[in-house]
Structure 1
Amino acid sequence: MYVILGGTGNTGKHITETLLAAGKAVTIVSRDASKAEDLVAKGAKLAVGDLHDTDFLSKTFTGARAVYSLVPPKWDVEHWRTYQVQISTSIALALHSAKVPYVVNLSSMGAHLPEGAGPVSGLYYLEQMLNTIPGLNVLHLRPGYFYQNLYGVLDMIKHMGVIAQPLPAEFKFNFVHTSDIAAVAAQRLLALDFTGHSVQYIAGPKDYSFADAAAFISQAAGKDVPFVTSTVEQSVEGMIGAGIPAAIAEPYGEFYGSFSSARYLADFDRKTNVIEGQITLEQFVKNEFKYALEGELVA
């Protein structure tokens, strides 16, 4: 039996569908039963509960051969890092209590940094907690920047006509589609071919800049949507102005401040320990993002 945290999310849903198609028993953990109806119809078992609830997780994990773990984003917390540590601790305690033998953990590129990378540094602590559990074989997935994060600039495009980020226009980095991440996770969950503590980086087919993203979006929109380099302070103020709590916006400012640094990128090398996905950024914009630009729902 497999347990998938965030089973209705960007990666969890694809993983669940792949495991079910392979004939595996899957339990998905979700806070909202209504979002899981299609997966339950396909054969998944649903466990509704809060990841803060260690007893709930322990019972859900009991008997599992493997768990897919993550700390889901939550946009109304009073302190981002505290939330991350609380969820990480709850997951780790439950895994230890249930004696789960395998975990594939969704982390992030940059999670080798205990401080200085905002919410990504919070994932360092989940990795370290899982690494302390006796007898647990854990694979940490460290993907790059999700293509789907671009949905966060939709309002900016619609109301300001630009994409503004606190990064140099020429700075290219690892973008990746969440379905490519899910494909790697599902394959490793099915194989369970890892032992001890290991890390796997996941990248898109090539690196892109936000200027590249703006060019693809301009093509999809049929009008020029230029990229503008903002300051970290401007980006934080913009997030707060859009209704994101300062407790979340400020750590993201720290993240963007470190994102293009050698320190953040030090542990990532496309030539070693990197699995490259199939979906290009241009394909994502053409086949998915453009429909959000037109005001349509994105599946």
Structure 2
Amino acid sequence: MKIVVTGSLGNISKPLAEELIAKGHSVTVISSNPEKQKDIEKLGAKAAIGAMEDVDFLTESFTGADAVYCMIPPGDYFDPDFNQIEFYKQVGNNYAEAILKSNVKKVIHLSSIGGNMNKDNGQLITHTNVENIFKSLPEEVKITTLRPTSFYYNLFGFIPAIKSQGIIASNYGEDDKCPWVSPSDIAEVVAEELEGSFSERKVRYIVSEELTCNEIAKTLGEAIGKPDLKWILISDEDMLSGALSIGFNPKIAEGLIEMHKSIHNGKLLEDYYSSKPKFGKVKLKEFAKEFAKAYNQ
């Protein structure tokens, strides 16, 4: 198959490209960074260098492909001028237009848990908007919507607080149970779906392990030599104040606080639990080794 992979050589797209190439597929990797071209070609893929904001570039890159994998990077959470919601809409519309113009009929869309919700999902409304854009495509375009859960590597964001305060603190925590996922498990599912039948549109959740926040703190704490590490539940107001104090874009900070609140009250996870997805291979204990390396740098 001829497959186009967006996301450059990111945490998901690189292992995905490697797996697809190993299985004999012809892979084109889209990147906005010209410096990535040599690394992409070393993998055995074709490099398409251009911007997601450029519909003509996307159309040219998609033309002739049997399937495309579409994802949108989150952007810079610390840029005060970055409008993440409008950025996602723009790129989502560009993808949809390029899919139509290139006549691609098989699409994998990397969305997120919470992509089914029109409210109470905070910053994840960006994914809801793109899901709705893709739903507007003609029915002959078969779309598999993938909704991964919280990424393990998001936990790296807690390292400064652990070092300065000796705790993890958020407006969800303690006994709140959360599903987490490894990028490599996501890549495996994307590859599996790309080789699937595409007989109908469908949604699939992706998860590696479910753990309480206390269990996460214990595992990470043991890995970094702090076995008594705790994940403390704090108020929405304190969480927002902390995010703003370290320079978060105010709109993104508000969205993240609402998202975390929805984890704490369970609304964000309702549809996920109704689907009962199978677990992936990578467990937190394995990720904790990476976490410890980053913590000790």
What residue identity is the alignment partner of 1:107?
Answer: S
What residue identity is the alignment partner of 1:95?
Answer: I
After TM superposition, the score normalised by the length of structure 2 is 0.92
Give the distance between the partners of 1:159 and 1:35, measured in 2 at CA: 36
1:16-75 CA deviation, whole Å, 9 max, x = no partner?
110111121111111223345333212111112221111111111111111111121101
Percent of matched pairs sharing the same residue: 32
Range with bigger deviation, 49-58 or 254-263: 254-263
Query: For residues 285-296 of structure 1, what are the structure 2 equivalents within 5 Å?
Result: 285-286=288-289, 288-295=290-297
Query: For residues 208-247 of structure 1, what are the structure 2 equivalents within 5 Å?
Result: 208-223=211-226, 224-247=228-251
- SS at 1:199's partner residue? strand
Give the distance between the partners of 1:66 and 1:83, measured in 2 at CA: 24
- SS at 1:282's partner residue? helix
Of 269, 273, 296, the residue aligned with 2:273 is 269
Of 183, 189, 193, the residue aligned with 1:184 is 189
Of 140, 157, 164, the residue aligned with 2:169 is 164
Query: For residues 84-99 of structure 1, what are the structure 2 equivalents within 5 Å?
Result: 84-99=88-103
Q: Which runs of 4+ in 1 moved over 3 A?
A: none
Name 1:115's counterpart in structure 2: 119
Q: How many angstroms does 1:273 deviate by? A: 5.4
Preserved CA contact (<8 Å) 1:131 1:197: no
Structure 1 pair 35–211 and aligned structure 2 pair: CA distance change class (3 A): farther
What residue identity is the alignment partner of 1:290?
Answer: A
Range with bigger deviation, 177-186 or 26-35: 26-35
- SS at 1:100's partner residue? coil
Name 1:30's counterpart in structure 2: 31
Structure 2 segments unaligned to the other structure (5+ residues) = none
Give the distance between the partners of 1:98 and 1:72, measured in 2 at CA: 22
1:99-154 CA deviation, whole Å, 9 max, x = no partner?
11111111111111022212212111211211221121110111111111101112
Preserved CA contact (<8 Å) 1:78 1:247: no
After TM superposition, the score normalised by the length of structure 1 is 0.92
Question: Does structure 1 residue 106 correspond to structure 2 residue 110?
Answer: yes
Of 192, 201, 206, the residue aligned with 1:202 is 206
Give the distance between the partners of 1:215 and 1:226, measured in 2 at CA: 7
- SS at 2:129's partner residue? helix
- SS at 1:268's partner residue? helix
RMSD value, Cα: 1.6
